[in-house]
Amino acid sequence: MGAFGMIAAGLAALAASAVAALADLPVIRAGTQASGTVAWELDTIAHYGLDTERGFRLEVVDLAGGPATQVAFQGGEVDVIVSDWLWVARQRAEGQDYVFIPYSKAVGGLMVAGDSPVQTLADLRGRRIGIAGGPVDKSWLILRAYARQQHGLDLAAETEQVFGAPPLIYEAALSGEVQGAINFWHFGAKMEAAGMRQLVGVAEAAASLGLDPETPLLGYVVRGEMLRENPALVEGLAGASRAAKELLARDTAAWDRLRDRMNASSDAEFEALKAGWIAGIPSPGAVDEAAAGRMLALMAELGGEELMGKVTELPADVFFRPGS
């Protein structure tokens, strides 16, 4: 065999060895909606090898989103999903061994048309509000409490509510069918890019109510069994998530490669989505459990058993503790 043949054979052997090594890594199946914002981070993790660097392979399973991801997780079809920690707290209180790893603190707000005469929540009396979700949507509950605190206003009694899926609320807001809209943060970013303005942000309202807007609402949910049996694997997932966030926070090229899947219809929309996602990056380290406990108590008061079941206090071990 000549020199070139020996080099080629050596390279082939190295490639085969690398493939075998990857095949031996444990797989984490992440269930998410392919068109959702979580997919941007998962795509970044896989593209840059942030998973394999940390000893696992990420496999993304496309699901319908929302309840479908929770059902798939509960049924063992996937190993991790993204949900809010209040759901995890309720599940733990009801006997499920789930653990929350912070993903995002991004929340939306109440949007109105750019030229709307509405200047405060009090001006919404007698008007229609579109709400993405149902009557116990967490943003709606926080804004209701804020309206009561600031204006003595019962938004539920003194406005008409239209509940629906985020895209429908988005369209209703742009068309003027509703005079105010509460939607997920990324639809809020699109509304702002289209000329609407935020009347009051959920983070601002939460802070006024004594809550900590730095408390991350959304996170990766894993089973406690995985954490106990393979803590390094869960640490690897948390580390890959943090590395992806740090990359996206500083590298515009990392966003440029995601643009096609972000469904941004204009440069303004793309920039608004990017800025909103980056603003939602939670601080590293452990979640402030005292602050989370205050939020849970308020949600239990406002949403009752429909939202929180019988849980009124933060159960133990809801939150993942890095390095523990």
Does one domain contain both 180 and 235?
Answer: no
41, part of any domain: yes
CATH number at residue 185: 3.40.190.10
Last residue of one domain, picked from the residues 166, 185, 208: 208
Q: Ramachandran region of residue 49, left (φ > 0), alpha (ψ -120 to 50) or beta? A: left
Cα(204)–Cα(216) distance, integer angstroms: 14
303 assigned to some structural domain: yes
Range scoring the smallest mean pLDDT among 8-22, 45-59, 117-131, 170-184: 8-22
Q: State which of 208, 225, 244 marks the end of a domain.
A: 208
| Residue 318, in any domain of the structure | no
Same domain, yes or no: 58 and 85: yes
pLDDT tens column, 273-324: 999 999 999 999 999 999 999 999 999 999 999 999 999 999 999 999 987 6
Residue 69 lies in a domain: yes
Residues 218 and 70 in one domain: yes
Closest Cα partner for 140 from 107, 106, 113, 174? 107
CA distance 273 to 188: 9
| Whole-number pLDDT of residue 66 | 81
- φ, ψ dihedrals at 14, nearest 5°: -65, -45
Same domain, 121 and 263: no
Is 241 among the domain residues? yes
Look up the domain containing 119 and give its range: 109-208
In a domain, 324, yes or no: no
Q: What is the pLDDT of residues 132-186, one digit of tens each?
A: 989 999 999 999 999 999 999 999 999 999 999 999 999 999 999 999 999 999 9
Q: Are residues 66 and 122 in the same domain?
A: no
- Based on the domain organization, do 92 and 71 belong to the same domain? yes
**Domain total in the chain:** 2
3-state helix, strand, coil in the chain (%, to 5): 50, 15, 30
Residue 300 CB neighbours (<10 A): 20
164 & 247 share domain: no
The predicted-structure confidence for 238-282, as pLDDT tens digits, reads as follows: 999 999 999 999 999 999 999 999 999 999 999 999 999 999 999
Residues 218 and 101 occupy one common structural domain: yes
pTM over cut 0.85: yes
8 is a domain residue = yes
Please indicate, yes or no, whether residues 92 and 228 belong to a single structural domain of this protein.
Answer: yes
Boundary residue ending a domain (184, 208, 232): 208
